[in-house]
Amino acid sequence: MQFPQIRLQSTFGQIEINTHNAKLVFEQPIAELSIQQPTAELDINRTPLKLSIDQTKAREDMDLKNISKRIEEFAQQGYQDWLSGLERVSQDGNELMMIENGGNAIADQAKRNSESPMLDFNIGWIPSMGSVKVGYYPGQVNINWKINKPIIESRINEPLVDYLPGKVEVGLKEYPSLKIDFENLKYVGSNYEQLI
């Protein structure tokens, strides 16, 4: 006996999931730093000291005179001697002119002209005190300096970030299916006919 049969054959659907991980690339470039230190500026101005020693008077006191000074002194002394000689001769002439008034003018003149004059003596210093003249002018040192500050330049570099987002891909690896088979069924019109 043949019974009508309906055979159903089904296949389950299979889901396929592909996962792509996210990627993060992070890079931090180092900062750029520039430091320059200008040198300090130093300026020194110096005025030298002056020392002057004048020992002309001390040398003259020791009779170490310059020839021009010696000539000047000799000329002055000659002039003074001439004046004193003129005075003496004039005085002697006046005395002789008035010899009639009495006195012993010739003997007095002879005695006066033959005797050496009395010399005064006193303590002296050779060279004399203060004969060496010392002049001193102190020097000067002016120091000027300028400190230059360092020149610092810095640049911060932004981090480099590269981000690739992850994704999930969902798909059907195998579609579901349903297969239907009929056995021992006859189709007549709009109905099925069964044979027994």
Beta strands, E only, the chain:
5-11, 14-20, 23-27, 32-36, 41-47, 50-54, 133-137, 140-146, 151-155, 160-164, 167-174, 177-183, 186-188, 191-193
pLDDT of residue 53: 92
pLDDT of residue 192: 57
Full pLDDT tens readout for the chain, 196 residues: 567 778 888 888 889 999 999 999 989 989 999 999 999 999 999 999 999 999 888 888 888 888 888 899 899 999 999 998 898 888 888 888 888 777 788 888 888 888 877 777 677 677 788 888 999 999 999 999 899 999 999 999 898 999 999 899 888 888 888 888 877 766 666 665 555 4
pLDDT of residue 196: 42
**48 within 8 A of 141, measured Cβ to Cβ:** no
